[in-house]
Amino acid sequence: MTPSPHRRRAVGALVAATATLLGSAACTTDDTASPTVVSSLPASSAAPGTPMPDDTAASAGTAPDTADGPADPIDWSACGTGLTCAQIAVPADPADPDGPTVEVAVTRRAATGTDVIGPLFVNPGGPGAATRDLVAADWPSEVEAHFDIIGVDPRGVGASMPLRCGDDPAIDAFREVDAEPTTDAGRAELVDAAAAIADACGRTDAETLATTTTAVHVADLDAVRAALGSEQLSFAGFSYGTAIGQAYAAAHPDRVRALLLDGVIDPELDLIDLLEGQALAIEAALDELDARCRTAGACATTDVVGTWDRVEAALTADPAGPGPAVLRLATIAATYSSSGIDQLPEVLVAAERGELGPLERLADRYVSLADYAPYAAYVCRDLPHPDTVDGYLDEVARVGTTAPRLGPAVIAELLPCATWPEPSVGAPGPIAPDGLAPALVIGNTGDRATPLAWAQAVAADLPGAALITVDTEGHTALLRSACVQRFAVAYLVDGTVPPAGTTC
């Protein structure tokens, strides 16, 4: 769709904190060193440095009796190399466990070894990302040997009752409107476009939208855990998946054997705080790149910010071009990895010459349009936000003064939340429940989607939690850092929690 000439800051900057794993993480810790035992997982888990007892948790799908009663057999079928999948019945309403059921999609990657600790539930974030690709990812061999890796698609996502409104043309139309209108007509266009998305999802997916919350997904995870016949689960969450892990731990602390959080969402943030934090972090990355290029001079331009501004102006003025949204998407994509941020100056210089191919390819690396519906469905329900259009637009204007390049588009992207068919419910339970096993928290110094400060706050709130600080640009670290993997394997397999101040 071609933007009209007046459009300046199109609502095209998706900032869903997906667990995109790009580039390579730097590792400053000596990889030959062994993790130090500071504390270990509770008595229900293995002692540090020893394998988990076989009877702690059954291999997923063997269905022994548990505190939940005997598990029903699961009808697994092959769904990819080394993967099996099933639809597992869960209560449609978690508050009515004996009532009607719905089915959620579960992917399993069976442990390759014989000393199986139990299920490792994983979630890549989004929200709105399906789990199968993460289950099939290249996990450390020790994790693959000792765990059945399990992915459960949240309702409305992947193969779990997928939302139909994700294909509605209202989403494409919304992405083209001006996020910072200066006229009454422009404001009406923005408001109407946002309301059209909320209306489309309410018309086509009302029943599913009533249950697209992390609180409901937590109940589904626990139902799947019981169906697998396991008394406890281990959980590895990336990006928004860390919010899911924290919510499960708050609801069922005694059922969490291990909790690994990578690229961490701080559950105490409301929606505007979260989005503003992301916009500020991305703009800081742009400013830092500009300063580095001015000092080092080894970039395609020594005026990164100036080039960015000129490219934005040119894209805005060209009614036949892709519009400035592609620039914001490319900028966000670049901040997801050290290699991406390093190539941004060259991409900007090419765009200023009128060569938009590199810019568009970088933007395409980020996220598909079809992910917007489940993304909005979860954040609009999970996170407190202004519930009136005027209140929400006041926040768009305010953030335009703190993060002028990306802020308005980032905040306005979720304006449909102001008229969403279902209200915000917030995260369940306390942040730091009693009886929770020590968690392993991982944060990158240059993570712009989930800033390091969020990981630090969560680690401080969870009793006994250990924080690994990774000195690298990009979002999430576990699956791309040998250093982090060393500590993560010791934690997940043996219950070894690294010492305070651990860095990679």
Per residue in 238-271, pLDDT (tens digit) is 999 999 999 999 999 999 999 999 999 999 999 9
Residue 33 pLDDT grade (very low, low, confident, very high; cuts 50, 70, 90): very low
Evaluate if residue 233 carries a pLDDT over 50: yes
Cα 94 from Cα 127, distance rounded (Å): 20
459-494 per-position pLDDT tens digit = 999 999 999 999 999 899 999 999 999 999 999 999
Q: Is the pLDDT of residue 46 over 90?
A: no
Q: With 50 as the cut, is the pLDDT of residue 17 above it?
A: no
Which position has the token pair 């063997």?
62
CB atoms near residue 167 (< 10 Å): 14
Q: Which two tokens stand for residue 117?
A: 């600790």
Rounded Cα distance between 101 and 90, Å, is 5
Long-range contact set of residues 37-42: C-beta below 8 Å, sequence gap at least 24: 37/496, 37/497, 38/466, 38/497, 38/498, 38/499, 38/500, 39/438, 39/464, 39/497, 40/438, 40/494, 40/495, 40/496, 40/497, 41/257, 41/258, 41/437, 41/438, 41/495, 41/497, 42/435, 42/437
Cα–Cα distance for residue pair 235/488, rounded to 1 Å = 12
CA distance 210 to 296: 53
CA 313 to chain centre: 31
| Domain spans of the chain, in order of start | 1-14+164-197+268-424, 39-56+106-156+210-267+427-497
Q: What is the pLDDT of residue 364?
A: 83
* CA 98/CA 74 separation, integer angstroms: 19
39-56+106-156+210-267+427-497 carries CATH number 3.50.50.60: no
- Residue-level pLDDT at 68: 55
- Give the separation between CA 65 and CA 74, rounded to whole angstroms: 14
DSSP 28: -
Other C-beta atoms lying within 10 Å of the C-beta of residue 305: 18
Angle at the Cα of 68 (from 67 to 69), degrees rounded to 5?
A: 90
Count how many residues are written for the chain: 504
Burial 226-247 (b: 16+ CB within 10 A, else e): bbbbbbbbbbbbbbbbbbbbbb
Peptide bond into 267 cis (omega under 30): no
Instruction: List, for residues 350-404, the tens digit of each pLDDT value.
Output: 999 999 999 999 988 765 544 889 999 999 999 999 999 999 999 999 999 999 9
pLDDT of residue 155 exceeding 50: yes
What pLDDT does 335 receive?
85
How crowded is residue 84: how many other Cβ atoms within 10 Å of its Cβ?
19
Closest by Cα among 381, 296, 282, 395 to 340? 282
Strands (E), 92-232: 101-109, 118-123, 147-152
Confidence of residue 409 (pLDDT cuts 50, 70, 90): confident
Structure tokens at 82: 């080394």
Token reading at 229 = 């016949």
